[in-house]
């Protein structure tokens, strides 16, 4: 039986926290004297994906997922044939799930004409009609424009890096490594401690492993928050609001991070070293983010006219 990793998480507050803990500070990003505030993370951005030539449906881009996923509801509407059962590992555990046969898939420059088996999950847990995973993204760039509320899959900028081109004065480019298809940033710090960062656009929150929590020793925790995976499994955790997280020339502050030794850390070989899965809550602190898989670059564009923090919450 084949196994796949699908990592999205949706977070919501569980037990009622004390009044002063009900609204964690919004993450803030700084670079070269510029500061931006995090906006609401309640709405998930999608891209239009066409399956088998059918009209496009909204899918969530998930840079933490090995394989693309289709909702059971969409599979039924399109009459997709049943595939074999697979073992699916999510943020909250492992489960056996049914698959459907996707005859072809297209989104932007992606034209995957090979039939493949996609896990079929409940739409209510996915947050969209499906998830677009690494298998279809690895040869392209993911562009997320928070100012315009647009997400797109585009051709890589690989040939432009190192060549003379007009750069946005507000951009910072970070070099990453590729591991199992995902981009991983190794030159990073979490409150002064070295940390490895995995970019995960499928998760609404950021997650740290217990090796990182132990390195921080006695840190103040808030919460709890309840996490729901794509299979509907739930996990209740406390979280810490990080004072300073640095990746290259980007510094974020006030970033809420929940801690647990979730399966993905072991999948990437990071269970024994401080590691962080950076979710959409952190990426929303920027005007635009580009994740370029072939070039192994992450491009952050700061906001020239930052707005005051809106008191957004986790979830």
For residue 78, tell me if it sits in a domain.
Answer: yes
**Same domain (yes/no): 25, 131:** no
**Same domain (yes/no): 297, 179:** yes
What pLDDT score does 180 carry?
80
Q: Look at residues 114, 136, 158 and tell me which one is the last residue of a structural domain.
A: 136
For residue 3, tell me if it sits in a domain.
Answer: no
Domain with 88 in it: what CATH number?
A: 2.40.70.10
Q: What are phi and psi of 243, to 5 degrees?
A: -75, -30
What pLDDT score does 8 carry?
54
* Domain ranges, residue 95: 47-136
For residue 142, tell me if it sits in a domain.
Answer: no
**Same domain (yes/no): 186, 275:** yes
**Same domain (yes/no): 130, 192:** no
**Same domain (yes/no): 181, 295:** yes
For residue 297, tell me if it sits in a domain.
Answer: yes
For residue 311, tell me if it sits in a domain.
Answer: no
What does DSSP say about strands 28-31 and 250-253: parallel, antiparallel, or unpaired?
antiparallel
Q: Which parts of the chain sit beneath pLDDT 50?
A: 3, 5, 10-25, 31-42, 306-315
What pLDDT score does 257 carry?
94
**Same domain (yes/no): 36, 89:** no
For residue 155, tell me if it sits in a domain.
Answer: no
Distance CA 26, CA 304 (A): 18
Q: Look at residues 136, 158, 184 and tell me which one is the last residue of a structural domain.
A: 136
**Same domain (yes/no): 181, 259:** yes
Is it true that the peptide bond before 196 is cis, omega within 30 degrees of 0? no
For residue 73, tell me if it sits in a domain.
Answer: yes
What pLDDT score does 143 carry?
94
**Same domain (yes/no): 131, 21:** no
For residue 59, tell me if it sits in a domain.
Answer: yes
Answer whether 198's CB lies under 8 Å from 191's CB.
no
What pLDDT score does 256 carry?
92
Q: Look at residues 112, 136, 160 and tell me which one is the last residue of a structural domain.
A: 136
**Same domain (yes/no): 19, 66:** no
Number of domains in the chain: 2
**Same domain (yes/no): 83, 203:** no
**Same domain (yes/no): 15, 29:** yes
**Same domain (yes/no): 12, 123:** no
pTM for this predicted structure = 0.81
């Amino acid at each position: 039986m084949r196994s796949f990793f699908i990592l999205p998480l949706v977070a919501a507050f569980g037990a009622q926290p004390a009044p002063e803990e009900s609204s964690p500070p919004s993450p803030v990003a700084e670079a070269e004297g510029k500061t931006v505030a995090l906006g609401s993370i309640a709405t998930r951005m999608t891209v239009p994906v066409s399956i088998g030539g059918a009209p496009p449906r909204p899918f969530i881009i998930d840079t933490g997922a090995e394989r693309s996923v289709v909702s059971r509801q969409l599979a039924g509407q399109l009459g997709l044939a049943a595939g074999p059962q697979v073992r699916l590992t999510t943020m909250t555990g492992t489960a056996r799930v049914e698959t459907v046969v996707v005859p072809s898939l297209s989104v932007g420059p992606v034209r995957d004409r090979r039939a493949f088996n996609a896990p079929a999950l409940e739409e209510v847990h996915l947050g969209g009609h499906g998830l677009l995973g690494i298998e279809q993204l690895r040869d392209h760039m993911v562009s997320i424009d928070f100012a315009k509320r647009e997400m797109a899959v585009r051709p890589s900028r690989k040939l432009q890096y190192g060549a003379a081109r007009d750069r946005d004065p507000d951009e910072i480019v970070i070099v990453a490594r590729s591991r199992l298809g995902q981009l991983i940033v190794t030159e990073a710090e979490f409150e002064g401690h070295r940390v490895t960062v995995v970019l995960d656009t499928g998760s609404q929150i950021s997650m740290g492993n217990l090796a990182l929590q132990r390195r921080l020793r006695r840190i103040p925790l808030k919460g709890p928050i309840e996490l729901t995976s794509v299979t509907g499994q739930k996990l209740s955790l406390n979280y810490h609001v990080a004072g300073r997280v640095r990746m290259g020339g980007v510094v974020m502050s006030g970033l809420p991070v929940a801690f647990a030794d979730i399966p993905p850390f072991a999948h990437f070989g990071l269970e024994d070293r401080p590691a962080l899965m950076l979710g959409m809550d952190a990426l929303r602190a920027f005007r635009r983010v580009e994740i370029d898989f072939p070039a192994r670059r992450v491009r952050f564009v700061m906001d020239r006219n930052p707005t005051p923090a809106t008191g957004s919450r986790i979830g």
